[in-house]
Structure 1
Amino acid sequence: MVKTAVIPLAVVAALVPFVAANNCKTNLNYCGYNLLNIGNYGSQVNGALQAANQPTDDSHIHESLLHCNGGSNGDISFESYCSGGCHDGGSGKSDSC
């Protein structure tokens, strides 16, 4: 009986890293579209826009620059709306307008 319990535990332990959501890296700025691609940030992006009295249309969701405040949930805050488009800064670097 013990052997049959060990196999499922090993499978669960192996899958845990794949289930965990990615968080933003503290103190970097992200385009909204990049946050949506790295984790479950939909509600946080909307919340950050609303807290800054910004519209929550697709353009603002995807083309706003958001700051990663960090924490266990990867908290974010609104920096600015990039009316000319938000640009990916590359891995480990801040995005920009």
Structure 2
Amino acid sequence: MVKITAVVLAALATLAAARNCTPGLDYCGYILRDIATGNNYDAQMKSALRKLGAPVNESSMTHGLFYCIPGGDGDVQALAICANGCLNGGKERNDFCKLP
């Protein structure tokens, strides 16, 4: 019984850690993956990259810059692929592309 309780608590802790992006903020792809459980944002990111006309690969998903659309449930729009890398802007701040 103790093992079952521990497994349930671990599963709940994982769900609690997952969250949606904050509407109106820009996110690096790797940050979106960090705030989600598993690959929850991967399908949205791939679709957003296709709409942008960008390649859909690990690099573009990691270094892509995505906008969290207001009013949605964590929906995102691709803004750019950061050629020099994408940088974390900090908590509740926009992420951004690194300048050359």
Please classify the TM superposition score into its range, dividing by the shorter chain length.
0.7 to 0.9
Partner of 2:50: 50
1:77 is the counterpart of 2:85: no
* Identical residues among aligned pairs (%): 39
Give how far 1:19 is off.
2.5
Instruction: Using structure 2 for the length normalisation, give the TM-score.
Output: 0.75
Q: Runs of 5+ in structure 2 lacking a partner?
A: 1-7
Segments of 4+ moved more than 4 angstroms: none
Instruction: Using structure 1 for the length normalisation, give the TM-score.
Output: 0.77
Letter paired with 1:33: Y
Q: CA RMSD in A?
A: 2.1
Alignment of 1:3-82 (within 5 A): 15=12, 19=15, 21-39=18-36, 40-82=40-82
Equivalent residues of 1:32, 1:61 under 8 A apart: yes
Q: Runs of 5+ in structure 1 lacking a partner?
A: 1-10
Which structure: larger Rg? 1
